[in-house]
């Protein structure tokens, strides 16, 4: 009975072990990555324009002969849709054939080399290396290696004014994901009895396309700027610190399936509780890290 159990268990074990080792794994910076199951793992961090180099090893278990129909490695960029949880859509895909069909009884090693600039969009989502040993009825063997890529952008052009109903909001964005430094809100003309004014930072994510587009809006922060009625010529200085919030760069229509945009939403409430809104898109970007 034990022999039969061992045979059945062994029949479902993979015929070999696959491992991926990056060339500079010991010195490369590691960052946390939250997986779809809610767990957080630590993965290597790369930057745009870098090469991903290393070694892929396949080792047969117990020295058994492994027959295969080819070995390949893929670099995949993936998006998970709100309306299709658990399924991923590839927005980037590069493939390298490592070995032709054949068999082996000893370990084999392959050189890993991908140029990131050939596969990355302007920004980044989830990236993974996928190594596959293709087999027939025995079932293919697959190994995944997650990693993170950060693309850095130059500062975008500055929009110096946001016009609001019978007032003007002047904002100069001089930083990236850490601080929005605004000059002042100037009340040039006041013809309503304003009771209070709030400023919100909102994130709007859209996934899918056509009738399957799903949009989700989240208010990340809300600040009370004023309590009471302003007078003509009055100004309010503003400085917003963004480091406490989990922000990403702005993503625009990645593979026609994914976008992330940020907005400043100004809300004015008058003494009769009527609300006046003005929304202005802002661009979040990641500057190069300085040592």
Query: What pLDDT is attached to residue 9?
Result: 42
Give the mean pLDDT of 25-45. Answer: 83
Q: What whole-number distance in Å separates Cα of residue 159 and Cα of residue 167?
A: 17
Query: What pLDDT is attached to residue 178?
Result: 56
C-alpha separations of 64 from 3, 35, 71 in Å: 19, 34, 17
Q: What whole-number distance in Å separates Cα of residue 160 and Cα of residue 179?
A: 16
Q: What percent of the chain has pLDDT over 90?
A: 16
Residues 209 and 255 sit within 8 Å (Cβ to Cβ): no
Query: What pLDDT is attached to residue 76?
Result: 85
Q: How confident is the model at residue 176 (pLDDT cuts 50, 70, 90)?
A: very low
Give the mean pLDDT of 60-77. Answer: 87
Query: What pLDDT is attached to residue 74?
Result: 92
Domain architecture of the chain: domains with CATH: 17-150 (2.60.40.640), 162-282 (2.60.40.640)
Q: How confident is the model at residue 290 (pLDDT cuts 50, 70, 90)?
A: low
3-state DSSP of the chain: CHHHHHHHHHHCCCCEEEEEEECCCCCCCEEEEECCCCCEEEEEEEECCCEEEEEEEEEEHHHCCEEECCEEEEEEEEEECHHHCCCEEEEEEEEEEEECCEEECCCEEEEEEEEHHHCCCCCCCEEEEEEEECCCCCCCEEEEEEEEEECCCCCCCCCCCEEECCEEEECCCCCCCCEEEEEEEECCCCCCCEEEEEEEEEEEEEECCHHHCEEEEEEEEEEEEEECCCCCCCEEEEEEECCCCCCCCCEEEECCCEEEEEEEEEEEEECCCCEEEEEEEECCCCCCCCC
Give the mean pLDDT of 123-135. Answer: 80
Between 253 and 2, residue with greater pLDDT: 253
Tens digits of per-residue pLDDT, 16-33?
899 999 998 888 988 888
Query: What pLDDT is attached to residue 124?
Result: 47
């Amino acid at each position: 009975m034990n022999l039969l159990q061992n045979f059945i268990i062994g029949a479902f074990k993979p015929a070999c072990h696959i491992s991926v080792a990056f060339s500079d794994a010991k010195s490369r910076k590691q960052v946390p990555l939250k997986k779809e199951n809610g767990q957080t793992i630590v993965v290597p961090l790369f930057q745009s324009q870098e090469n991903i180099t290393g070694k892929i090893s396949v080792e047969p278990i117990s020295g058994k002969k492994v027959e295969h129909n080819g070995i390949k490695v893929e670099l995949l960029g993936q998006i998970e849709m709100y309306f299709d949880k658990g399924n991923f859509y590839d927005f980037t895909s590069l493939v390298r054939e490592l070995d032709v069909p054949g068999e082996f009884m000893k370990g084999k090693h392959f050189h890993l080399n991908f140029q990131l600039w050939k596969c990355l969009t302007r920004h980044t989502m989830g990236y993974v290396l996928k190594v596959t040993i293709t087999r027939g009825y025995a079932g293919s063997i697959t190994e995944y290696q997650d990693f993170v890529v950060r693309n850095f952008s130059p500062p975008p052009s500055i929009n110096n004014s946001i016009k609001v109903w019978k007032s003007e909001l002047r904002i100069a964005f001089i930083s990236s994901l850490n601080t929005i430094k605004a000059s002042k809100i100037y009340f040039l003309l006041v013809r309503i009895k304003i009771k209070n004014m709030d400023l919100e930072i909102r994130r709007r994510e859209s996934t899918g396309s056509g009738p399957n587009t799903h949009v989700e809006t989240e208010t990340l922060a809300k600040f009370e700027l004023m309590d009471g009625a302003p007078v003509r010529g009055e100004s309010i200085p503003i400085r917003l610190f963004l480091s406490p919030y989990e922000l990403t760069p702005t993503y625009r229509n990645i593979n026609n399936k994914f976008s992330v945009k940020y907005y400043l939403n100004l809300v004015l409430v008058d003494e009769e509780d009527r609300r006046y809104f003005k929304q202005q898109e802002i661009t979040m970007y990641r500057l190069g890290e300085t040592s």
